[in-house]
Amino acid sequence: METRAYAAPAKLNLHLGIYSTLDERGYHKADSVMVALDLGDWVTVSAPYGDEVPTVVCTPAVDVPAERNTVYRAAMALAEATGSVPAVRIEVQKRVPDQAGMGGSSSDAATTLRALCELWDVDPADERVEQAARSVGADVPFFLDPVPTHLVGAGDVVGQKFLHLAQPVPVVLARPQGPGVSTQVAYAAFDQQHDAPVDPGPLCDALRDGNASGEELAALLFNNLDPVACRLLPAVGEVRSWLLGQDGVLGGQVTGSGSCVFGICRTFDEAQRIAAQARSRFGGWAQAAHFA
């Protein structure tokens, strides 16, 4: 039996502009600019294993039926598309908190797809791989090749890809204790009250040559689900206000629909210090990282 382990990076939305218009599927139109982080889950794939369906083990365990797990769905979608037999064991070491807006389960799914492409000798650029990714979730296509990316459509269609940043950008991440904000609830609240989206063009321009600094990126952050998350869960707003008031934080916002707040920092040492202070002050989960 062959076993391989893969990093499944988390993500941040530097820009998330949700529109009130819906596509033919009933999804909101969206502009999303995402970057990966140098932290995330780990996905280990072993084959051949078991019966002709994937065996999925998550640590810590998740209270989701196997057939609804994004990793299981990704494996089944690619198997059906390519005529492969998904007799594999997939272990996911969860390090990214749920309902954080950091794409943990989407990254796990995409990492599974990349692993199975190696195992089944499928070109990762094959359009069937992206179709399988899109069938699982809107963020999954980004994680197939997690360079800084502008996504369009419902945030599930790759628009432009950019170079990895030449200089590491340190960031502090903090998610308050307790239940998070579900995406479904966030969008329902957005439909009731929301800010208009803005043009992501200036941010895309800054990312294009890979030389953007943390200061430049911090000045161009936008997310019109940020106030929605803060309205739905006051603890998110408390963490956000505190984080943006810390010396060393250049700018920040909620990522995705929450519940994680991030701050771009001047230095990694400052990001580590602020993460420790956040854990002490609010409990919950807080880490320092870099854009990958």
Tell me, what's the pLDDT at 230? 96
For residue 264, what are its two tokens?
């771009």
Q: In the chain, what are the domains?
A: 2-161 (3.30.230.10), 170-290 (3.30.70.890)
- Helix 70-82 × helix 127-136 angle, to 10°: 150
> Hey, which residues are catalytic here?
11, 139
Residues 268, 171: contact at Cβ < 8 Å? no
Whether the per-residue pLDDT at 150 is higher than 90: the answer is yes
Tell me, what's the pLDDT at 37? 98
Tell me, what's the pLDDT at 5? 96
Residues 220, 203: contact at Cβ < 8 Å? yes
pTM: 0.93
pLDDT-wise least confident of 8-17, 186-195, 259-268: 186-195
CB under 8 Å to 191, separation ≥6 — which residues?
20
Whether the per-residue pLDDT at 67 is higher than 90: the answer is no
pLDDT, tens digit, for every residue of 222-272? 999 999 999 999 999 999 999 999 999 999 999 999 999 999 999 999 999
Going 98 to 139 to 151 to 45, the CA torsion angle's sign is positive
Tell me, what's the pLDDT at 205? 97
Residues 263, 252: contact at Cβ < 8 Å? yes
The residue-averaged pLDDT of 125-150 equals 94
Q: Could you give the strand order of the β-sheet that contains 285-290, starting from the edge strand earlier in sequence?
A: 249-254, 261-265, 170-175, 285-290
| Number of neighbouring beta carbons within 10 Å of residue 84 | 16
Tell me, what's the pLDDT at 113? 98
Tell me, what's the pLDDT at 1? 81
**Omega before 60 cis (within 30°)?**
yes
Tell me, what's the pLDDT at 52? 86
Tell me, what's the pLDDT at 228? 97
The residue-averaged pLDDT of 184-207 equals 95
Whether the per-residue pLDDT at 45 is higher than 90: the answer is yes
pLDDT band with cut points at 50, 70 and 90 for residue 25: confident
Tell me, what's the pLDDT at 66? 81
Strand-pair partners of 56? 90
Whether the per-residue pLDDT at 49 is higher than 90: the answer is no
**What is the three-class DSSP state of 260?**
coil
R_g over Cα of the chain = 19
Alpha helices in the chain (DSSP H): 70-82, 104-120, 127-136, 140-144, 183-192, 201-207, 214-218, 226-232, 234-244, 268-282
pLDDT, tens digit, for every residue of 68-105? 899 999 999 999 999 999 999 999 999 999 999 999 99
